[in-house]
């Protein structure tokens, strides 16, 4: 089992460009999450999906959209990237009352 | 004030020392999680606990629900334990986690 996979691992964008971060899990988990991690701050929830077909905003959703394509996949889209979105992005999955499993992260730089 | 506070922010130890990292929280929770983030960036879950104490190898996690406090102990520390240790709480209302800022641990040989 691969666990949680994310693509790409690294990305550099120019201000205003768009991109989609991909995440997939093979553990048959219902819940999936997108976080960002910035220096000096804890992980912050951007969006989450409690089950296939549902998505909800987290703490910092502005500038992002998500799609829960099916039970396995949960993508994060930046429509018009801004330098403030420079961060490391983590996808995670879990069962409702279980521990979370994290992907390896995507390091995004917006110039 | 953050809902989850960790101390210390940074900790340097000599190999073999006993290490304690503390986590205090201010909300009702269904579970508390301890996570480890390696220098390469990967995050792994160490413990999930809702009461008492759990042990895995040289790692011990305890929680006191009444005092809203948890500790992570590392016995006989080793340089490979150098990492960021993150406390996170799962509120009683769902599966979402709220994270502390992490404790950077460095164990010197």
Q: By the 8 A CB rule, do A91 and A102 touch?
A: yes
Interface test with B, best of A42, A47, A92 (most B CBs within 10 A): A42
Give the model's pLDDT for residue B40: 78
Give residue-wise pLDDT tens across range B9-52: 999 999 999 999 999 999 999 999 999 999 877 899 999 999 99
Give the model's pLDDT for residue B39: 81
Give the model's pLDDT for residue A42: 84
Across the interface, whether the CB atoms of B99 and A40 are under 8 A apart is answered no
Give, in degrees to the nearest 5, the angle at Cα A29 between A37 and B63: 60
Give residue-wise pLDDT tens across range A16-73: 999 999 999 999 999 999 999 998 788 999 999 999 989 999 999 999 999 998 999 9
Nearest to A92 by CA among B10, B69, B88: B88
pLDDT at B94 over 80: no
DSSP line for A35-99: EEE-TTS--EEEEEESSTT--EE-S--TTEEEEE-SSSBEEEEESS--GGG-EEEEEEEE-TTS-
3-state secondary structure of B108: strand
Percent of chain B with pLDDT over 90: 87
CB < 8 Å to B101, chain A: 40-42
| Element counts in chain B: helices (H) and strands (E) | 0, 11
């Amino acid at each position: 089992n691969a666990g949680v996979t994310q693509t790409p691992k690294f990305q550099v964008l120019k201000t205003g460009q768009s991109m989609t971060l991909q995440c997939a899990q093979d553990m048959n988990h219902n819940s999936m999450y997108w976080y960002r991690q910035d220096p000096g701050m804890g992980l912050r929830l951007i969006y989450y999906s409690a089950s296939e077909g549902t998505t909800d905003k987290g703490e910092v959703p502005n500038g992002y959209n998500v799609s829960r394509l099916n039970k396995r996949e949960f993508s994060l889209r930046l429509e018009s990237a801004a330098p403030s979105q420079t961060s490391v992005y983590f996808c995670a999955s879990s069962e409702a009352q279980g521990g979370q499993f994290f992907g390896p992260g995507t390091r995004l730089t917006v110039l | 004030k953050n809902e989850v506070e960790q101390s210390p922010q940074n900790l340097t130890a000599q190999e073999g020392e006993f290490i304690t990292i503390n986590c205090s929280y201010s909300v009702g929770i269904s579970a508390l999680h301890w996570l480890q983030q390696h220098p390469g960036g990967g995050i792994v879950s160490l413990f999930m606990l809702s009461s008492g104490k759990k042990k895995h190898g040289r790692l011990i996690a305890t929680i006191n629900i009444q005092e809203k406090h948890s500790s992570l102990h590392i016995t006989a520390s080793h340089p490979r334990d150098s990492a960021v240790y993150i406390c996170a709480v799962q509120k009683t209302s769902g599966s979402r986690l709220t994270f502390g800022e992490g404790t950077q641990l460095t164990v010197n040989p």
